[in-house]
């Protein structure tokens, strides 16, 4: 995450507080779920995805766990890659 982005997100956390931003993250996740479930407006889905990405970055700042998130993401991507390629070979 670049410095400007981190500064903006940290300012939001400082202004509203960690607890409020965690609740906001839950709200944004719920809004994305609703947008996907309705599946009617691709632009709304994109907007909600952007909100969720912003909140996920704030959660990484709050929990100081960016490295752990990256490790888990890599592990899960490797597992997905294995599953995707296994599906190709099992026919």
Position 47 in a domain: yes
pTM of the prediction? 0.90
The total number of structural domains in the chain stands at 1
Position 21 in a domain: yes
pLDDT at site 90: 58
Reading the chain (91 residues) residue by residue, the pLDDT tens digits are 899 999 999 999 999 999 999 999 999 999 999 999 997 899 999 999 999 999 999 999 999 999 999 999 999 999 999 999 986 765 5
Summary count for the chain: helices (H), strands (E): 4, 0
Range of the domain at 52: 3-65
Q: Which residues contact 22 (CB under 8 A, 6 or more apart)?
A: 59, 62
Position 71 in a domain: no
Position 77 in a domain: no
Position 14 in a domain: yes
Separation of CA 44 from chain center: 16
Return the structure tokens found at 74: 């890599």
Q: The domain that contains 18 carries what CATH number?
A: 1.10.287
Position 11 in a domain: yes
pLDDT at site 33: 97
Going by C-alpha positions, the residue among 70, 44, 74, 38 that lies closest to residue 57 is 70
Position 75 in a domain: no
pLDDT at site 28: 98
Position 29 in a domain: yes
């Amino acid at each position: 995450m670049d410095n400007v982005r981190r500064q903006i997100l940290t300012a939001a956390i400082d202004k509203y507080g960690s607890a409020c931003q965690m609740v906001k993250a839950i709200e944004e996740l719920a809004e994305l779920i609703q947008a996907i479930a309705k599946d009617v407006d691709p632009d709304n889905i994109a907007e909600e995805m952007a909100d969720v990405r912003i909140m996920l970055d704030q959660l990484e700042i709050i929990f100081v766990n960016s490295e752990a998130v990256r490790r888990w993401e890599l592990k899960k991507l490797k597992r997905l890659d294995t599953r995707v390629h296994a599906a190709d070979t099992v026919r």
